[in-house]
Amino acid sequence: MTLLLDEPLPLYRKVKAMILRSIETGEWPENGRVPSENELVKSLGISRMTIHRALRELTEAGVLVRVQGVGTFVAGAKPEAPLMEIRSIADDVRARGHAHSATVVLLRPEAATAETAARLEVPANTAIAHSVLIHHEDRVPILLEDRLVRLDAAPHYLAQDFTRITPHDYLMQAAPMPDGEHVVEAVLAEPWEREHLKIGRHEPCLLVHRRTWAAGRLVSVARLLFPGSRYRIGGRFTSRPSAG
């Protein structure tokens, strides 16, 4: 790694140019970990503040991805979650040739509060299931799934090992879901969500509110939170000419 010292640029921009050059030449491959701030300070002999600014601006531009507690990586093409379909996150990750894993943060029965009862269309105090999972792609967290499930529709939900089967896959077995609804909004994550997703305070996220039905009965409601720098949401539709 060398800086172009003869260029009339601020030092932090020379660092950015060096990083971009390293990526373009393949020295720093896509999805590969880049040297830490400390390593760059030592190898380049410049201040930590300068290095930090260069890395921060490249992260904001989507060139790099910073995972708190893990490191900084060269961004690859953003994976895309389907907007018009209900699919398993594990299947999407594996279809890209990557490894899917999940961490169970919460899995317990609850008595439906007035708010959760309204969301699930059940009487208050009905026994429901509540799960929170973090889904990883090659060990990088890409999705926080916060889900409520009607136990009358999926009575064995709480007995599942969701490190081996996703909630989506189990629910498709227990109560096949031909109908679903997605509502998408841009949000900032709550502190506990940022901690699990290993993202910064100002990282924009995509939040998908998903509701699914089987045989006309609501089965599950979920909050699917994707870090904006690691995922995008897309879909394809066909328009049909109106009659007459």
The predicted structure's pLDDT at residue 182: 86
At residue 2, the pLDDT reads 62
DSSP 178: -
What H or E segment, with its residue span, contains residue 195? helix 191-197
Per-residue confidence (pLDDT) for residue 175, from 0 to 100: 84
Would you call 23 helix, strand, or coil by DSSP? Answer: helix
pLDDT, block means (10 residues), the chain with 244 residues: 62 86 85 88 90 87 79 72 66 85 97 94 96 93 96 96 95 82 92 92 90 90 90 56 48
Q: Which CATH fold topology does 80-234 show?
A: Chorismate lyase (3.40.1410)
Quote the pLDDT of residue 79.
56
- Sequential DSSP letters for 80-139: EEESSS---HHHHHHHTT--EEEEEEEEEEEE--HHHHHHHTS-TT-EEEEEEEEEEETT
Residue whose entry in the numeric block shows the structure tokens 């389907």: 82
**pLDDT for the residue numbered 5:** 53
Q: How confident is the model at residue 244, as a pLDDT?
A: 44
User: Cα(first)–Cα(last) distance of the chain, in Å?
Assistant: 66
pTM, 2 dp? 0.67
Beta pairing, strands 179-188 & 204-214: antiparallel
Residue 180, SS3 per DSSP: strand
| CB 166 within 8 Å of CB 88 | yes
The token pair at 91 is 């299947």
Report helix, strand or coil for 158: helix
Q: Which of 168, 92, 75, 22 is closest to 67 using CA atoms? A: 75
> What is residue 65's predicted lDDT score, i.e. its pLDDT?
82
Burial 121-148 (b: 16+ CB within 10 A, else e): ebeeebebbbbbbbbbbeebbbbbbbbb
pLDDT at position 62 is 75
- CATH code for the part of the protein at 11-74: 1.10.10.10
Burial (CB count within 10 angstroms: exposed 0-12, middle 13-18, buried 19+), residue 229:
buried
27, exposed or middle or buried, with CB in 10 Å at 0-12, 13-18, 19+? exposed
CA angle 27, 29, 30 (to 5 degrees): 155
Domain positions in the chain? 11-74, 80-234
Token couple for 95 = 């279809």
- Please name the residue that has the structure tokens 């009575």: 155
